């Protein structure tokens, strides 16, 4: 696990936010649940620069009260859209 990943998870724990919290998405009638931990771990597979951008955005979402859930909701949507677009063949 990367240091950036550890920092993300420590930030959440410091705010008493469970990293196993999930967000449900409905995609064509099928529910997909992504945990905060899964979203973090998936984004940590990106470049180091992208990891730092993710960390910075997470820090800003924590400073904006109530912004953490919206942040993870958006990041999860991005992951699902990327996954679905990779499955779509023209």
Q: What is the pLDDT of residues 17-50, one digit of tens each?
A: 999 999 999 888 989 899 999 999 999 999 999 9
Specify the higher pLDDT residue, 12 or 28.
12
Q: What is the pLDDT of residues 78-90, one digit of tens each?
A: 998 887 666 655 4
Specify the higher pLDDT residue, 27 or 11.
11
Which pLDDT score, from 0 to 100, does residue 87 have? 61
Question: What mean pLDDT value characterizes the chain?
Answer: 89
Domain count, the chain: 1
CA angle 72/66/52 to nearest 5° reads 45
pTM over 0.85, yes/no: yes
Please determine, for residue 15, whether its predicted confidence score (pLDDT) is greater than 60: yes
Among candidate residues 41, 39, 48, 46, the one with its CA nearest the CA of residue 80:
39
Range of the domain at 8: 3-19+26-46+55-87
Which pLDDT score, from 0 to 100, does residue 84 have? 67
* Helix/strand/coil for 63: helix
């Amino acid at each position: 696990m990367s240091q950036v990943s550890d920092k993300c998870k420590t930030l959440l724990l410091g705010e008493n936010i469970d990293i196993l919290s999930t967000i449900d998405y409905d995609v064509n009638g099928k529910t997909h649940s992504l945990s905060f931990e899964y979203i973090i771990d998936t984004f940590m597979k990106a470049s180091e620069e992208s990891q730092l951008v993710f960390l910075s955005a997470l820090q800003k979402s924590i400073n904006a009260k109530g912004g953490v859930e919206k942040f993870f909701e958006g990041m999860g949507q991005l992951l699902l859209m990327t996954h679905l677009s990779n499955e779509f063949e023209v």
